[in-house]
Copies of this chain bind each other. A is one copy, B any other.
Amino acid sequence: MKQPTLIRVRYAETDQMGFAHHANYLVWFEAARTEFFRETARSYAEFEADGVMIPLVAAECRYFQPAHYDEQLAVDCLPGELSPARLDLFYRVTREDTLIAEGRTVHAFVDVASRRPVNLRKRAPHLWELLARLAAASGAS
């Protein structure tokens, strides 16, 4: 089982209400996503070397509890629904046993040169199989 990404809330990330500002959660999701691709597959850089980009086409987050300066949070990134055209990823942000937030991002598979959608199963079968295996294992969909 993959380890969560640990985030220490930065002072610059707080707002005048004394909470971590909500836009930072998308940045933390991205940090967890980077770790997800590093640990389970290949880094973003290698994806791009394959000529495939996976731009984010949608993001959402629900905020249950505020997070505060200097708290340590754990961010889990789990693969969800996968199709040849796109991948869903799910996120859980926790502070010890408290659920702070949950989120989802949707990613399209796109050719780097043309910036057109690609069918990942045809274009990069090894990536497709790897992601399919991970999505099946996570059960997050």
Contact = CB atoms under 8 A, between A and B. Distances in A.
A34 interface: yes
A15 interface: yes
Nearest to A102: B58
A14 interface: yes
A129 B48 CA distance: 41
Contact of A55 (B17, B45, B69): B17
Interface residues of A, number: 37
B58 A60 contact: yes
Q: How many protomers of this protein does the assembly include? A: 4
Contacts of A21: 11-12
B22 A59 contact: yes
A30 B31 CA distance: 19
Contacts of A38: 70
Given A11-B30, A11-B44, 6 more contacts: A16-B18, A16-B68, A22-B59, A23-B27, A57-B62, A59-B61
